[in-house]
Amino acid sequence: MKPADFEYHAPDDLDALLALLAEHGEEGKILAGGQSLVPVMNFRLARPPHLIDLNGVAELDFLRAEEDVVRIGALTRHAAFHRPVVAGPTGKLLSEVVPYIAHYPIRTRGTFAGSIAHADPASEWCVIVRLLEAEIVARSRRQERRLNAAEYFQGTFATALAPEEVITEVRLPLLDASWRTGFYEFSRRAGDFAIAMTAVALRTVGGKITEARIAIGGVEDRPMRMASAEALLMQGAAPAEAARAVAAAVKPMEDIHADAAYRRDLVIATTQRALERALA
């Protein structure tokens, strides 16, 4: 199918983009890589009267590692992460996760920030943003806001972003060398969205886990941290026990791919394997 008619705007700097967003409000939609928005428009599930294309805004095309943060500008494509963008556990984790996102041609167009804006519950980057306690920088003509991942995700395709706001960058705090990370996801075929996935980061000192983070995706309507299982790991629990604690804590969605009981079983496996990868 073809999309409903729309007016196309191609601002070439950030001020012009913010002015267009302010002018069109709910009637305007940002176009980044188009890998989620265009299919939705073709199926006429979205009919934005105004399409505001980010791709000419050169100020948003950056990817910078600073002392303790990676700054991912709105035009950074998924494919930029195939090689570690920074030394240490964070760059390694991002490069391990990116091949799970769709297929290579899609990864050369789709953007990191677009995934965060779209907020699919099965988005790998949304889980990573939650795991790494990232900051989402949202700009409108009136203000800049910095949102933490916990407050930002509000449900399936629902976020704290206002219609006149654009995500200009996502800031990932860097994990230092005392952290180890692991990721595991289950999908029906390579390139499909995950039915369940787990990302973990463990700080180990002298072989003991002193800090633990577990984030899951594809299971509930948004990426979730699993506090009870994290606490168990810090008390010395084995991966299998922590994985069972995750399954006990989640309230899984049901859809055509999996019912709640199956997702609960899957998240035991994804969590245990992600933890084993981190500890290997």
Ligand X SMILES: Cc1cc2nc3c(=O)[nH]c(=O)nc-3n(C[C@H](O)[C@H](O)[C@H](O)COP(=O)(O)OP(=O)(O)OC[C@H]3O[C@@H](n4cnc5c(N)ncnc54)[C@H](O)[C@@H]3O)c2cc1C
Residue numbers of the site for ligand X (CB under 6 A)?
A: 29-37, 39, 74, 101-102, 106, 110-111, 113-115, 117-118, 120, 123-124, 161, 166-167, 193
Q: How far is the CB of 161 from ligand X (least distance, A)?
A: 6
Residue (106 or 234) nearer to ligand X, CB: 106
Residue (102 or 147) nearer to ligand X, CB: 102
The length of the chain in residues reads 280
Closest by Cα among 158, 167, 270 to 218 = 270
> What letter does residue 44 receive in the DSSP assignment?
T
Q: How far is the CB of 233 from ligand X (least distance, A)?
A: 26
Residue 264 CA to residue 67 CA, distance in Å, equals 39
Decide if 165 contacts 138 (C-beta within 8 A).
Answer: yes
CA-to-CA dists, residue 226 to 34, 254, 273, 277, angstroms: 32, 20, 16, 18
Q: How far is the CB of 67 from ligand X (least distance, A)?
A: 25
Residue (23 or 241) nearer to ligand X, CB: 23
Residue 25 CA to residue 19 CA, distance in Å, equals 10
Residue (41 or 275) nearer to ligand X, CB: 41
Q: How far is the CB of 32 from ligand X (least distance, A)?
A: 3
Residue (131 or 232) nearer to ligand X, CB: 131
Structure tokens at 207: 């072989």
Q: What count of other Cβ atoms lies within 10 Å of the Cβ of residue 254?
A: 11
Q: How far is the CB of 8 from ligand X (least distance, A)?
A: 13
Closest residue to ligand X using C-beta atoms: 110
> What letter does residue 54 receive in the DSSP assignment?
-
275 SS3 class: helix
Residue (184 or 193) nearer to ligand X, CB: 193
242 SS3 class: helix
Q: How far is the CB of 193 from ligand X (least distance, A)?
A: 5
> What letter does residue 46 receive in the DSSP assignment?
-
